[in-house]
């Protein structure tokens, strides 16, 4: 592989170590490195997941992210907290602002609440070599917020991320170059340890005899493309550490615009009737956002995953309707059609809905045989206006007051967790 013409910028990927735990620790004046701290989604449910655990929590009590509330032993040293999502987001913003003291805003790409890419090009005069700049940023975050971090560096976003995931998360800092790819990336197995390869893709690759990233890199490109299309092409080049994406390019383009929502249900939902209640609430929320942004859409997709003890896997299907819409009930009806076509009658645990294929709402297509359309067109925005003014639960559909409804409880949540 000829790396000569490939991008070669000083990119770093910085990850806040046990972000949520570090922040609650800071908030309560505890040292996250000396106290076993865990953030648990909800105290009242024993099956609730651990969202973050401090290093001591991991070492002494082997509780890590994804463990359950009931697995945590009773011990006087252990400090448990519930999440404060809006505060976590605020802290993430504060850290982003701190980083922007070192580089222009456009050189920061926030990847998640606790992870960001930073292009350190041109900072040499101010902060020394990119490594020094990176360490300076890590130090500033530790000094100001007592949040430890890990940094991976590389000539492009992909390698920075791989250096972070595969090495720096253990050592705190790692810098890879293209030359490191064969010796550091190729031995990686199972394949899903590599960014961009999920469990399903791993199974597909194993099925054709590929076990390691090196195996992937030495597979015939044509063969991969034939099997996996564009993804095959991407997999191949990723295995060689090649990534042409430009940090700083605006992320959200209109072409891929869509509105959607997913939620994990708090218990198994068994019947079509119960599921449809939640679907209606979700459609209402998604369509409100669509209307607020001034769009109408034609493609409606719906996903449903069954509870872990179900026999079948879930489904994800979509339907494209004739006339673009922003009406909640049109979306809801389409979702119900999809549900009726694909629902296997097993207990459901996770739902998602999405509207895509959007276009600007220029005018309403009137229908000679549908004389109630103008009225229906007004009801949505009217309800939106009431919600915008008096809060999301100020006006609800009656189904939300049934046992299956989730809107009232979820109003207090951000990202599915306590605000």
Q: Which residues bind other proteins (CB under 8 A)?
A: 85-86, 89-90, 92-93, 96-97, 100, 105-106, 109-113, 117, 157, 196, 230, 233-234, 237, 242-246, 249, 251-252, 256, 289, 414-415
Q: Which is nearer to other proteins, 207 or 230 (CB)?
A: 230
Q: What minimum distance in Å lies between the beta carbon of 115 and other proteins?
A: 8
- Give the residue ranges of DSSP H helices in 10-118: 19-27, 55-61, 85-99
Q: Which is nearer to other proteins, 252 or 368 (CB)?
A: 252
Q: Which is nearer to other proteins, 79 or 84 (CB)?
A: 84
Q: Which is nearer to other proteins, 35 or 96 (CB)?
A: 96
User: How many angstroms separate the CA atoms of 177 and 183, rounded?
Assistant: 11
DSSP 141-202: HHHHH---EEEEEESSHHHHHHHIIIIIHHHSEEE--GGGIIIIITT--SGGGSTT--HHHH
Segment (H or E) for 324: strand 315-325
- Give the residue ranges of DSSP H helices in 308-372: 328-342
User: How many angstroms separate the CA atoms of 266 and 287, rounded?
Assistant: 23
Q: Which is nearer to other proteins, 34 or 199 (CB)?
A: 199
Q: Give me the active site residues, please.
A: 115
Q: What minimum distance in Å lies between the beta carbon of 341 and other proteins?
A: 27
Contacts of 99 (CB under 8 A, 6+ apart): 14, 108, 116, 118, 137
Q: What minimum distance in Å lies between the beta carbon of 234 and other proteins?
A: 6
Q: What is the three-class DSSP state of 224?
A: helix
Q: Which is nearer to other proteins, 5 or 309 (CB)?
A: 5
Q: What minimum distance in Å lies between the beta carbon of 92 and other proteins?
A: 7
Q: What minimum distance in Å lies between the beta carbon of 93 and other proteins?
A: 5
Q: What minimum distance in Å lies between the beta carbon of 62 and other proteins?
A: 27
Q: What is the three-class DSSP state of 315?
A: strand
Cβ contact 319:300 at 8 Å: yes
Cβ contact 65:53 at 8 Å: yes
The helix/strand count (H/E) of the chain reads as 15, 14
Q: Is 396 exposed, middle or buried (0-12, 13-18, 19+ CB in 10 A)?
A: middle
Q: Position of tokens 């651990």?
A: 50
Q: What are the strands, taking DSSP E only, across 47-127?
A: 50-53, 79-81, 108-112, 115-119
Cβ contact 260:335 at 8 Å: no
Q: Which is nearer to other proteins, 259 or 332 (CB)?
A: 259
- The Cα-based distances of 177 to 69, 193, 251, 337, 399 in angstroms read 41, 19, 26, 51, 57
Q: What minimum distance in Å lies between the beta carbon of 262 and other proteins?
A: 9
Q: What minimum distance in Å lies between the beta carbon of 103 and other proteins?
A: 12
Contacts of 49 (CB under 8 A, 6+ apart): 40, 41, 65, 66, 67, 68, 69
Q: What are phi and psi of 400, to 5 degrees?
A: -65, -20
Q: Which is nearer to other proteins, 244 or 366 (CB)?
A: 244
């Amino acid at each position: 592989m000829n790396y000569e013409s490939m991008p070669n910028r000083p990119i770093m990927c910085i990850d806040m170590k046990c972000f949520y735990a570090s922040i609650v620790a800071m908030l309560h004046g505890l040292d996250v490195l000396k106290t076993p701290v865990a953030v648990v989604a909800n105290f009242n449910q024993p099956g609730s997941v651990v969202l973050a655990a401090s290093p001591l929590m991991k070492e002494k009590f082997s509780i890590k992210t994804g463990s359950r509330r009931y697995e945590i032993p009773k011990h006087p040293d252990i400090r448990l907290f519930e999440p404060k999502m809006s505060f976590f987001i605020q802290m993430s913003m504060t850290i982003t602002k701190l980083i922007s003291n070192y580089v222009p805003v456009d050189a920061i790409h926030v990847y998640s609440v606790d992870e960001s890419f930073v292009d350190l090009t041109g900072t040499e005069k101010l902060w020394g070599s990119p490594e020094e700049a990176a360490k300076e940023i890590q130090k500033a975050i530790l000094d100001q917020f007592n949040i430890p971090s890990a940094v991976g560096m590389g000539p492009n976003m992909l390698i920075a991320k791989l250096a972070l995931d595969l090495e720096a998360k253990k050592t705190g800092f790692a810098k890879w170059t293209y030359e490191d790819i064969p010796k550091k990336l190729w031995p990686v197995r199972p394949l899903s340890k590599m960014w961009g390869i999920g469990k399903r893709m791993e199974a597909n690759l194993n099925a054709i005899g590929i076990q390691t990233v090196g195996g992937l890199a030495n597979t015939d490109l044509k063969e991969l493309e034939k099997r996996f299309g564009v993804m095959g092409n991407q997999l191949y080049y990723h295995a060689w550490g090649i990534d042409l994406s430009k940090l700083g390019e605006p992320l959200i383009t209109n072409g891929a615009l869509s509105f959607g929502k997913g939620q994990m249900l708090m218990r198994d939902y068994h019947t079509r009737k119960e599921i449809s209640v939640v679907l209606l609430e979700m459609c209402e929320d998604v369509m409100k956002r669509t209307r607020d942004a001034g769009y109408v859409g034609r493609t409606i997709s719906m996903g449903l995953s069954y509870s872990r003890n179900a026999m079948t896997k879930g489904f994800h299907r979509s339907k494209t309707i004739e006339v673009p819409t922003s009406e909640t009930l049109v979306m809801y009806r389409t979702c119900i059609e999809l549900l009726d076509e694909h629902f296997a009658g097993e207990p459901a645990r996770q739902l998602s809905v999405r509207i895509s294929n959007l276009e600007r709402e220029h005018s309403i297509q009137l229908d000679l045989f549908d004389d109630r359309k103008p009225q229906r067109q007004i009801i949505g925005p009217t309800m939106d206006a009431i919600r915008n003014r008096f809060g999301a639960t100020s006006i609800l559909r009656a189904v939300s007051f049934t046992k299956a409804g989730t809107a009232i409880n979820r109003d207090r949540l951000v990202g599915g967790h306590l605000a």
